[in-house]
Amino acid sequence: MRFLTAAALVGGLALSANAHFVFVYVPDDQPEARLVFGHAAAPDPSAFPTRAEKTTLSARDAAGKDTKLAVEKGDGNFFRAKLPAEKPVVVYGTTEAGVTQRGDNPPVLSWYYPKVVLGDPFAKGTVIGADAPLEVVPVRDGEKVRFRVTVAGKPLADSEVTVGLPNKGEDKDPLVKTDKDGLTEGFADRGRYCVAARRVEDKAGEFGGKKYASVRHTATLVFDFASGK
Residues 37-66: tens digit of each pLDDT: 999 999 999 889 999 999 999 999 999 999
Whether residue 228 has pLDDT greater than 60: no
**CA–CA gap between residue 89 and residue 77 (Å, rounded):** 25
**CA–CA gap between residue 135 and residue 127 (Å, rounded):** 8
Residues with Cβ within 8 Å of 30's Cβ and at least 6 positions away in sequence, in order, are none
pLDDT of residue 124: 86
CA 94 to chain centre: 9
pLDDT of residue 6: 38
Q: Is the pTM of this model over 0.85?
A: yes
Confidence label for 182 from pLDDT (cuts 50, 70 and 90): very high
β-pairing, 144-151 vs 66-69, is unpaired
Closest to 37 in 3D by CA, of 90, 95, 89, 88 = 95
Whether residue 36 has pLDDT greater than 70: yes
Residues with Cβ within 8 Å of 28's Cβ and at least 6 positions away in sequence, in order, are none
